[in-house]
Structure 1
Amino acid sequence: MKTIGIIGGGSLGLLFSAYLSDCYDVTLYTKTKTQAKCINENGITLHRQGEHHTKKVSAIPLEKNIKEADLIIITVKQYHLKEIIPFIQTLTIHTPLLFIQNGMSHIEILKNLPQRTLYLGTVEHGAMRTNMDSVHHTGIGTTRIASYRGEMESILPIVNFPWVIETDWYAMLVKKLVVNALINPLTALYRVKNGQLIHNSYFYKTMRLLFEEIASVLKLDSAFNYWENALGVCSRTSTNQSSMLKDIQEGRQTEIDAILGYIQTQAAEKRTSTPIVDFLYGSIKGIEEEKGD
């Protein structure tokens, strides 16, 4: 593997580009010409543990076609996926694609793609974009990858980033979905950092009730392990703001549809009542609407 294309100039796109550029020829595809120009002139500055390093990365606005590469990593948020699908469809069926999104709504989109090799990923890192060409690596974690379609050989040579290969893509995504569904909407509604969900007894109780609803809908085996995992994430990221809280604060659209919206869809199919999920979904959508006015 020599060339990697990364679609999306947000926090994850910048983070992956900065690290992978040490070993690969990386091209970052951005939403705007302005960001591409900025990165081409200045590189990407990676801040980590009090140090900062500038990485040279080639950037191209996404209005142009995507170049063939040994791997294309898609880091845009769920609600932007439909916009980039026409660009992905110009790639050959032999180009491996790695999708890294929150939630599980993107699975329906993947079914119709022509590419023979499709990977799914979840990210446990903390990353915050501070401007168009700068990203802070706020929490060091792991990127988990599983094959949705095709063999793993295409992705195994990747180095210089902590990857873990999973054998079951559905189990991997559900584990991350549960964490996102518990932490993101509650912290966004309460306007608190992640750790407050376990330190405040009232928030904790609500999170537990929410978990029981979600576990029932998804029919989680060994539900205790999912709960303990979520508590562990809250503890390890106790001083962090969730991505949904940041979106709310900055007046951006959230990923609530890809997270709780997916759980609502599953509940409807199973004719299961989810009053807490419904309340949180409506609350976040209402806040989005107010911000949009």
Structure 2
Amino acid sequence: MDKIAVLGGGSLGLLLAGKMVASGCDCELWTRTGDQAALLNRNGLTIVEQTGGEVRKVNIRAIPIEQATLSENGIVLVAVKQTAFTPELLERLAEIVPDGGTLVLFQNGVGHRQLLTHGLPGRKLVMAITTEGALRINETTVRHTGIGETTIGELEIATNVIRSVERMLKQAGFTVLLSKQLEEAIMRKLLVNAVINPLTAILRLRNGELTESTGRLNAMKALFQESFGILSLYGLKNERELWNIVLKVCADTRLNESSMLQDVTAHRETEVEFINGAICRMAADKGKEAPWNNAVTALVKAIH
């Protein structure tokens, strides 16, 4: 199973597709617009590496989503944000991805698995969690701003599918972990995103700048403690370890602009409702309040 498609011409989609093509994988990129596909096919995709500023240009096959096709056993890495899952996109994916096809979901937050399970019955869904940092410079250029890890896995998916995804991502140079406890990993990523993303978006800071003052650290800690307290009601453990992970992500991706910051800067709708908004709803379901999460959700939405 050597053919793979990446859906999404944003930061993560360009990074995934570019690195896989550069490593020799048979990969194509599905874009939202024909204009971006034409630019990529004509000019290639440029990857700017974090270390040393190395620049690589790869020739990539880009296809507008309305022209895309997929074989019966094909794999799609879904690298669009949750806000992109409109009824129109789900309808188009239902036309493209046949029964038996596999979608690897890279979205932040929670709720997308349930949405796609309902909207795309019969397809295999693999959850993916990544801390890779990427920044789209323009429609054909992406900067790899932070080296992270990607965790994948889903118990009901055949082992050979998971292994194929793992092999291709590793071949592209990504660090990949397989997990049989993905629910915990999803909650951990939700916690990290709930702290870093809204604060960077509101304060207009890169990830590493969050830890550079006492005031910012205090805000991070307050938002972290509230979010962990809610998620602990759903089984999340190891508060001290997770706080250190939040700090490590800030350090490892210090030059990265979070996806939420990129969205507010570009005046796009953000994923805050699927991250901090989701924690607010989880709190309400347990009869709890989440004032910090309510506040940052309202502020990010007000910016948009």
Q: TM-score range by the shorter chain?
A: over 0.9
Distance 1:155 1:124 in 2: 19
SS at match of 1:239: coil
Give the secondary structure class of the aligned counterpart of 2:154: strand
Q: Is the 8 A contact 2:30 2:68 kept in 1?
A: no
Instruction: Give 1:110's aligned residue.
Output: 116
Aligned equivalents of 2:123, 2:266: Cα separation in 1: 38
Tell whether the 8 Å contact from 1:187 to 1:245 is kept in structure 2 after alignment: yes
Ranges in structure 2 where 5+ consecutive residues have no aligned partner? none
**Equivalent residue, structure 2, for 1:2:** 2
- 3-state SS of 1:184 partner: helix
Q: Distance in 2 between matches of 1:43 and 1:93?
A: 32
| Alignment match, 1:176 | 189
Q: Is the 8 A contact 2:18 2:45 kept in 1?
A: yes
Q: Do structure 1's residue 88 and structure 2's residue 89 form an aligned pair?
A: no
**Quick one: which amino acid aligns to residue 34 of structure 1?**
D
- Say which of 83, 94, 99 aligns to 1:79: 83
The TM-score normalised by the length of structure 2 is 0.89
Query: Quick check: 1:261 aligned with 2:300?
Result: no
Number of equivalent positions: 288
Identify which range, 178-187 or 212-221, moves more after superposition. Answer: 212-221
Number of the residue aligned with 2:134: 127
Match of 1:227 in 2: 243
Specify the code of the residue in structure 2 equivalent to 1:236. Answer: D
Superposition CA RMSD, Å: 1.6
Residue 32 of structure 1 is matched in structure 2 by: 33
Residue 61, structure 1, aligned to residue 59, structure 2: no
Q: Paired residue for 1:141, among 122, 142, 148?
A: 148
Unaligned runs of 5+ in 1: 289-293
1:209 maps to 2:222: yes
Check the 8 A contact 1:116/1:149 in 2, yes or no. Answer: no
Report % sequence identity: 34
Aligned-partner residue type, residue 219 of structure 2: T
How far the C-alpha of 1:124 sits from its partner, in A, is 1.4
Q: Determine if contact 1:217/1:263 at 8 Å carries over to the other structure.
A: yes
Label 1:253 to 1:116 Cα distance change in 2 as closer, same or farther (>3 A). Answer: closer
Change (3 A) 1:211 1:27: same
Larger relative helix fraction: 2
Instruction: Give the SS at the match of 2:163.
Output: coil
Query: What residue number does 2:299 align with?
Result: 283
Q: Residue 113 of structure 2 contacts residue 125 of structure 2 at CA under 8 Å; is this kept in 1?
A: no
- Which whole-Å deviations, capped at 9, do the CAs of 1:94-142 have from their partners, x for residues lacking one? 1111010111121221332323421011121111111111111122222
> 1:239 & 1:46 partners in 2: Cα distance?
16
Q: Distance in 1 between matches of 2:101 and 2:255?
A: 39
In structure 2, the CA distance between the partners of 1:193 and 1:118, relative to structure 1 (3 Å rule), is: same
CA positional deviation for 1:148: 5.9
One-letter identity of the residue aligned with 1:240? N
Deviations 1:186-224 (A, max 9, x none): 111122222232221111112111112111211121222
- 2:80 is paired with a residue whose SS is coil
TM-score (norm 1): 0.93
Q: Using the alignment, how far apart are the partners of 1:148 and 1:12 within structure 2?
A: 25
Deviation (angstroms), 1:65: 4.3
- Asked whether the 8 Å contact 1:104–1:177 carries over to 2, the reply is yes
Residues 116-125 or 191-200, more deviating: 191-200
State the shift of 1:84 in Å.
Answer: 2.1
Question: Residue 197 of structure 1 aligns with which residue?
Answer: 210
Match of 1:150 among 149, 154, 157: 157
Task: Please state whether the residue corresponding to 2:85 is helix, strand or coil.
Answer: helix
Partner of 1:164: 177
Determine the C-alpha separation between the residues in 1 that align with 2:206 and 2:56.
Answer: 28
